[in-house]
Amino acid sequence: MSHPLFEKHKAQLDQAAQALATRGYWSPYNEMPSPKVYGEAAAEAGKQAFQGYLGKTFELDQPGQTGVQAGERSPYGVDLNVSYPVCDPEALVQAALKALPAWGQLGAEGRTGILMESLQRLNQRSFEIGHAVMMTTGQGWMMAFQAGGPHAQDRGLEAVACAWREQAAIPREAIWEKPQGKNAPLRMQKHFEIVGRGVALVIGCGTFPTWNTYPGVFAALATGNPVIVKPHSNAILPAAITVAVIRRVLAENGIDPNVITLAVTPQRSATQLLATHKDVKSVDFTGSNHFGNWLIENCKQAQVYAELAGVNNVVIESTDAYRAMLKNLAFTLSLYSGQMCTTTQAIIVPAGGIDTDEGHKSFDEVAADLGAAITAFVSDPKVAHAVLGAIQSEDTVRRVDESHRLADVVLASQKLINPEFPDAQVRTPTLLKCDARDEKAYMEERFGPISFVVRVADAQAAMALSERIVQDHGALTAGIYSTRPEVVDAMVRATWRSKVALSINLTGSIFVNQSAAFSDYHGTGGNPSANASYSDSAFVANRFRVVQRRFHI
C-alpha cells in the first residue's frame, strides 16, 4: 500500500523527524563541493550543465505558453541570455487545479516520498544549481554552492518533515464507539481526509532564489497543494532547474507534472493577478515591504507567509575577546556584501565605550577598530572576492555609493575589480556611525553592505533600542556581546518580548547571519520582519485542512 518512494526514503525521514525533535546538528546533504562526496565528475558536469543553458530557451513543456522572456543580468557581468517560457497565468492556475485532486489523493506518504526523491535529485545537481545561483545572485562560489544547494535542500527537507509530522498525527480513519449504559453502544466509522487549501504561489527573491523558496515550495507541496513558482526576474534559472527536476520526478511517477509550474511574468500585474486569484489559497513571499505589504493587504483569499525587511542589530556591552569579536563581525558584514536578510545593520554601543580584554575602548575606538577589522579582512583580494561576491542589484550599488550621506563615515566602501569577472560590481562594506537619535539613518533597512555603529547612553539604553527596533521595524537576527550574565539575561528577556533569535558572544566560526536547518528557526514570525518561521508547525499546519465523513456501522 505504501508508496515505493516513501519506503525508499523512510529511514532518512525518521532521521529528519528526530533532528526536528532534538534540534542538534543534522544535515543529509553534504555542504562540501568535494569530489569524494559528489563524485569525481560532478564539478565539471555541473558547470557544463549550467553552461548548456546559456543562450538557449529553457524547456519546461508547460501549458498556456504565449512566448518567451530573457533578460537575467548577471551581477558578475557574464552574458547569460537564457530565455524562459512565459505562460498565461490563468492557464497555470487551471493546470494546477486539474492536477490537484490526484496530488491530494496520493496521500501524505506518497507526496513525502516524491518530494524526498526530488530533493535527492536536486542534491545531485548542486554544482549546476550552485553555478546558476552564483551567476544570477552575485554570491561567491562557496556560498552559492552551499546556500543554493545543500542548505536550501536542508530547508526543503525540513519543511517536508515538519509537514509529515503534522499530517501523520491525523488518523486516516477511526471507529467511534460511545457506551450507552445497558444499551448497545453507538458506533460510527469516521474518515479524515487531508486536503490542500488550493493552489499555492511561491514568490522568490533575487538574492536567495532557492534557500528562501524551498521552504514554501516543499511545505505547500507536501500538504497537498499544487505550486506555482514565481521567481525574481533576475534569478529565474535556479528556480527553473528546481521546477524541471520536480516535474520530472512527478512525471516518472505517473503524476501530472503541473503539480508544479514556473511563472515567468514580464509584468508585476501578472504576479498580482496570480496572487489575488480566487483559487490561489496561499502565497509565500520573500522580498520588499512594499510588495509584501501589498500582498498581505490584497490577498484576502489566501494565507500569506511573508519575509520582509528588517533592521538586524547587535548590542556590544563588553567582551573578553575583543579581536575575535571584531573579526566575527567583520566577516558577518562582508559575507555576500551584506546582502543577506540576516546581516547586521545596527551595531549598538554605549557612548561611554566598552570594557574588553584589551582594556576599555571608547565608542569611537570600537567603531574605528571594527572598520579596521573589515579593512584587514578584505585586504586579501582572493578572500575578498570569495566572500563579498558581487552586488546583486543596481539599487544596492546606488545605496552603497550614496551611503556616506547618511551618517559619519568610519570606513568608506571601495570598488574592487574581480580579475576573473572584470565587469562584476564589487563593493567592500561601508561602516558609518551615528547617534541613536539619528533614526532616519539607521532605522530602516539599508539592504547591502551598509552598517551603522549607533551611539546610545548606556547598556540599558542599548538593549531598549534593540528591543524597539525589533518591535517596530522587525529583525531576523539580534546579537549581544557581554561578559556580564545579568546583561545577557536582560537581553534574552528583551528578545522574548520583541521575538527575535539571539546570538550571544559569537567570536568563532559561527556568525549571527547563519541559520542552520533542523536546529535554528529562521525568523520567529513574531516581529515585522516575517510573519512565519522556517519551519515550525504553524508554517505547515494551516496549508491543509481535514475534511471528515462519518456513518453508522
Task: Provide the binding-site residues for its own copies, judged by CB under 8 A.
Answer: 20-25, 101, 104, 165-166, 169, 171, 174-179, 186, 188, 190, 192-193, 195, 197, 492-493, 495-496, 499-510, 516, 519-521, 524-526, 533, 536-538, 541-542, 545-552
**What's the closest the beta carbon of residue 505 comes to its own copies, in angstroms?**
6
Q: Report the distance separating Cα 392 and Cα 143, nearest Å.
A: 14
- Quickly tell me which residue has 571584531 as its cell: 326
> Would residue 87 be called left, alpha or beta, if left means φ above 0 and alpha means ψ between -120 and 50 degrees?
beta
Query: Could you tell me the smallest distance in angstroms from the CB atom of residue 245 to its own copies?
Result: 27
Quick one: 172 or 437, whose CB is closer to its own copies? 172
107's CB contacts (< 8 A; 6+ apart) are 3, 194
User: Pairing relation of β-strands 477-481 and 313-316?
Assistant: parallel
Write the CA distances from 155 to 35, 265, 273, 339, integer angstroms: 23, 26, 28, 19
- Give the nearest distance from C-beta 222 to its own copies in angstroms: 14
Nearer to its own copies, 150 or 238 (CB): 150
Closest CB to its own copies among 249 and 299?
299
β partners of residue 432: 409, 452
- Identity of the residue, 1 or 169, whose beta carbon is nearer to its own copies in the bound complex: 169
Q: Which of 416, 500, 400, 502 is nearest to 451 (CA)?
A: 400
501/499 Cα distance (integer angstroms): 7
Instruction: Report the C-alpha gap between 395 and 388 in whole angstroms.
Output: 17
Q: Compare residues 268 and 550 and give the one whose CB is closer to its own copies.
A: 550
CA distances from residue 519 to 156, 313, 413 in whole angstroms, order as listed: 14, 21, 35
Could you tell me the three cell numbers for 175?
471507529
- Minimal distance in Å, beta carbon 545 to its own copies? 4
Do the strands 313-316 and 280-286 form a parallel or antiparallel pair, or are they unpaired? unpaired
In angstroms, give the least distance from the CB of 531 to its own copies.
Answer: 9
Residue closer to its own copies by CB (options 41, 174) is: 174
Q: Point out which residues pair with 348 in neighbouring strands.
A: 315, 454
Q: In the complex with its own copies, which residue's Cβ is closer, 34 or 51?
A: 34
Residue of 527, 528, 509, 515 lying closest to 155 (CA atoms): 515
What are the residue ranges of helices labelled H in 282-362? 289-298, 322-334
What is the smallest separation between the CB atom of 29 and its own copies, expressed in angstroms? 14
Q: How far is the CB of 495 from its own copies (least distance, A)?
A: 6
Decide whether 401 or 536 has the Cβ nearer to its own copies: 536
Cα–Cα distance, 77 to 136 (Å, whole number):
10
Least spacing, CB of residue 315 vs its own copies, in Å: 13
Taking the least distance from each CB to its own copies, the nearer of 461 and 541 is 541
Residue 323 beta carbon to its own copies: minimum distance, rounded to whole angstroms: 15
| Element holding 45 (H helix, E strand) | helix 42-53
CA dihedral 391, 270, 243, 63 (to 10 degrees): -150
DSSP result, 299-319? -TTSEEEEE-----EEEE-B-
Residue (223 or 343) nearer to its own copies, CB: 223
Q: Which is nearer to its own copies, 24 or 254 (CB)?
A: 24
Nearest to residue 204, comparing CAs of 241, 251, 250? Answer: 241
Tell which residue, 504, 501, 531, has the closest CA to residue 515: 501
Cα 161 to the center of its chain, rounded Å: 17
**Minimum distance from residue 191 beta carbon to its own copies (Å):** 8
Residue 286 DSSP SS3:
strand
- Minimum separation from the CB atom of position 462 to its own copies (A): 17
**In sequence order, what are the beta bridge partners of 84?**
69
The distance of closest approach from Cβ of residue 198 to its own copies in the complex, given in angstroms and rounded to an integer, is: 9
User: Collapsing DSSP states into helix, strand and coil, what is residue 428?
Assistant: coil
Identity of the residue, 45 or 538, whose beta carbon is nearer to its own copies in the bound complex = 538
